[in-house]
Amino acid sequence: MSATVSPVREPLVQGGKTYHQITEDLISPTERAPGKEWLAIFGISALLAGVMVFCIIWTIWVGIGSWNLNRTIGWGWDITNFVWWVGIGHAGTLISAILLLFRQKWRTAVNRAAEAMTIFAVMCAGLYPLIHMGRIWLAIFIFPYPNTRGSLWPNFNSPLLWDVFAISTYFTVSVLFWYVGLVPDFATIRDRASGLRKRVYSFLAFGWTGSAKHWQRWEALSLVLAGLATPLVLSVHTIVSFDFATSVIPGWHTTIFPPYFVAGAVFSGFAMVQTLMLITRRLLNLQEYITLGHIESMNKVILVTGTVVGVAYLTELFIAWYSGYIYEQFAFFNRALGPYYWSYFGMMFCNVISPQIFWSAKMRRSIWWTFFMSIFINIGMWFERFVIIATTLARDYIPSSWSYYVPTWVEVGIFIGSMGFFGVCFLLFTRVAPVVAVAEIKSILKTSGDQFVGPIRAHHNEVMEEYHEAEAHGKVYSSHHHEESH
């Protein structure tokens, strides 16, 4: 009986791969020396990370006065970048947890890199509130722990404290989820290694043998962690939005912020996944595992979430007009026509108008357009956070206190450097672990490999059908009969 070939779902593994070829293709990048392109990108990232370290030391030594914050604008690039990085960290858990629960097979090629991206993005995000304290050595005070200071405790009514709990929980579960998925692949590397490398990976593999019991427990734990991580995807950026929504500042005090922030986070997170995966796909020659089908699926998610974000923008404008509250109306009038108009229209164009290009199937499957749009979208999402924070604070109730915020070289250096730090972490990750989950790719090979469900299989089915049809009509003779006839 021939296998069914779907006319809709294209193969997710191309090249007619065998299990051994999958292991070789995905494990070998961790065993051989890095290429020139990898070294060039790593060198640039390390240089930028060094700039970040210098600027952080400068900030701690000189003080927050080295930033261009003032009495009116108390939050500037620091909190803007914090929210931006937290948003980027959302797509990893969404791809891993929610798509796992929905049994979406296309997640298998991108989930590992997306999970790593989540962890590194949250590390970058957590840096900013610590620096913003001014006295970073007092950061321990934000945690509620038994102390000798009498009744001095953190303010549990503050959403800033909620951030601490939400992000630390999210980071912990994300690390667990990421590491559990790595264990079978660490065992594969262990079995191919020798010497010190074998001992290191033996420790990381936790004694994995690939027995049926191990796989059973591994799958059960993955489902449990997916169940824990799914509400975290929704809760973390909801709580980040409470930093603004629980205030009484016009433009911030609105109930649309939680779903609006979550949709924006998934939007920017998927865009960053696209950026990373397209670069990784090129550097490690993974075109047969990260296919145009994967890229198109992620672009569909970007299109949907971008449209949701656009609806949220328009809803904000409508509610400000409909409320009749002049201060709320002025806040949005100031965003669009005030001194920061360029950031508002940049946000609208990058986040709402430009993603509509993905209604075209040709554009969804274009590598260069996808790469360009992934960067463009994250620029737009940074503008969104800047518009929410800087433009709202720049003009308050008293015109005499109005101000205009421009970052200093220190703030710019920390932000650009954080992208370098992120790049260093991700590139090092590609050297120590398979960037595509080997075990999960193998698990879908028989149902999504092109030799089983793709054009190769379709051609084989056609040939076999023609053969059986000819045989049924007596047009096919055995070799023995053919010899006798001569």
Angle at 78 between CA 74 and CA 82, to 5 degrees: 125
Among 58, 172, 128, CA closest to 385: 128
Q: Could you give phi then psi for residue 437, rounded to 5 degrees? A: -70, 110
**Structure tokens that stand for 362 in this block:** 């040709």
Burial of 127 (0-12, 13-18, 19+ CB in 10 A): buried
Domain range spanning residue 211?
19-136+168-457
* Residues contacting 470, CB < 8 A, separation 6+: 476
Residue 445 lies in a domain: yes
Among 202, 175, 207, CA closest to 189: 202
Q: Stretch 288-317: mean pLDDT, rounded?
A: 89
Q: How many structural domains are present in the chain?
A: 1
Confidence of residue 8 (pLDDT cuts 50, 70, 90): low
| Residue 32: Cβ within 10 Å count | 8
The string of pLDDT tens digits covering residues 469-485 is 655 666 554 444 444 44
The string of pLDDT tens digits covering residues 363-399 is 998 899 999 999 999 999 999 999 888 888 888 888 8
Residue 153 lies in a domain: no
Q: In the prediction, which pLDDT does 2 show?
A: 45
The string of pLDDT tens digits covering residues 328-368 is 888 888 888 888 889 999 999 999 999 999 999 899 988 99
The rounded mean pLDDT for the chain is 83
Residue 248 lies in a domain: yes
How far is C-alpha 122 from the chain's CA centre?
A: 10
Report helix, strand and coil shares of the chain as percent, to nearest 5.
75, 0, 25
Decide if pLDDT at 49 tops 90.
yes
Residue 409 lies in a domain: yes
* SS3 at position 154: coil
Name residue 34's amino acid.
P
Residue 46 lies in a domain: yes
The string of pLDDT tens digits covering residues 195-233 is 888 899 899 988 888 889 999 998 899 888 888 888 888
Residue 317 lies in a domain: yes
Q: In the prediction, which pLDDT does 42 show?
A: 92
Decide if pLDDT at 7 tops 70.
no
Q: In the prediction, which pLDDT does 477 show?
A: 45
Residue 78 lies in a domain: yes
Angle at 114 between CA 112 and CA 117, to 5 degrees: 115
Radius of gyration of the chain (CA): 26
Decide if pLDDT at 442 tops 60.
yes
Among 89, 121, 105, 130, CA closest to 232: 89
Q: In the prediction, which pLDDT does 482 show?
A: 45
The string of pLDDT tens digits covering residues 134-193 is 788 877 777 777 767 666 677 777 788 888 888 888 888 889 988 998 999 899 989 888
CA distance 27 to 189: 7
The string of pLDDT tens digits covering residues 74-131 is 788 888 899 899 888 877 777 778 888 888 888 888 888 888 998 999 999 888 888 8
The string of pLDDT tens digits covering residues 407-439 is 889 999 999 999 999 999 999 998 888 888 888
Q: In the prediction, which pLDDT does 483 show?
A: 44
Of the CA atoms within 13 Å of residue 151, those in its CB half-sphere come to 0
**Structure tokens that stand for 439 in this block:** 């075990």
Residue 389 lies in a domain: yes
